[in-house]
Amino acid sequence: MSEAATPVILAADSGLGGLTIVAEIRKAMPQARLAYLCDNAFFPYGTRPDAALLSHFLGVMNRAIERVRPDLVVTACNTISTICLPQLRAATSIPVVGVVPAIKPAAQQSRRKIIGLLATPATINRPYTDDLIQRYAADCTVLKVGSAELVQMAEVKLLGETVDRDRLRHILSPFFDRSAATQPDVIVLACTHFPLLRAEFQAVGPADVVWVDSGVAVARRVVDVLPLPRGSSIEADLALTSAACDPAMRRALAQFGLAEVETLPG
């Protein structure tokens, strides 16, 4: 890659959660130009039927790719990565990097060999997730908690509202309402929205719990596979939305350096 070249990376999620991946990519590749598809018309992905989600996502991603002409695409969502990666890769010649739950590093870090998996119900129930557990955490007890409500809580926090910590404790209770010896010491944040709640998780959970996510690993993968830039149609970092974007969402996007916002044509 020449010094003058500017790679363009397009990341996508149903709402604002994928911005946690954008932030890690920006740290790893400050020279890159970033575009982010906030697919707010279909938020949240984790509650959608697979067939409807697949059809919608391929359509909206095609429109985003036409607008941005990226050098690489990141499906910055565990749910969409476990459903759509093969089909998206078949539909485009652009390299696609997915997000998978950080089960392998969690299993490696756990001293008790008890880990927690915190995800959307869709990700919890995926055979893909079970395969990751069998491959990388077969020597661990894996406690699973699926919550779509946490996605909403992460969104409202980023939009400026206060998180209900009592409700958060209730959602996490299957991890911690048990004897200390049987509690997980590492918990996988297997939804890109959930790192937005890291401070709240740390506040309501035991002090010795480690909360791990995939952001840094995804950014490393982007650096490894990014091809030579081909030239893009965008001149600055850009957010794309699939439905109207209200002022609070615009402010949240701007916090991540995405002050320019466009709504994709239907």
What's the CA gap between 245 and 158, in Å, rounded? 14
Q: For 8-99+216-263, which CATH class?
A: alpha beta
What's the CA gap between 219 and 216, in Å, rounded? 5
Q: For 103-213, which CATH class?
A: alpha beta
Active site residues: 77, 191
Exposure b/e, 208-245, CB count within 10 A at least 16 = b: ebbbbbbbbbbbebbeeebeebeebebeebbbbbbeeb
The pLDDT value recorded for residue 46 is 86
Phi and psi torsions of 225, nearest 5° = -105, -5
Q: Where in the chain is the domain with CATH 3.40.50.1860?
A: 8-99+216-263, 103-213
Q: Is 48 helix (H, G, I), strand (E, B) or coil?
A: coil
The pLDDT value recorded for residue 4 is 52
Given its phi and psi angles, is residue 232 left (phi above 0), alpha (psi -120 to 50 degrees) or beta? beta
The model's pTM: 0.92
The pLDDT value recorded for residue 2 is 40
Give first-to-last CA distance, the chain, whole Å: 35
pLDDT tens series, the chain, 266 aa: 444 578 999 999 999 999 999 999 999 999 999 999 999 999 999 889 999 999 999 999 999 999 999 999 999 999 999 889 999 999 999 999 999 999 999 999 999 999 999 999 989 988 999 999 999 999 999 999 999 999 999 999 999 999 999 999 999 999 999 999 999 999 999 999 999 999 999 999 999 999 999 999 999 999 999 988 887 668 899 999 999 999 999 999 999 999 999 999 97
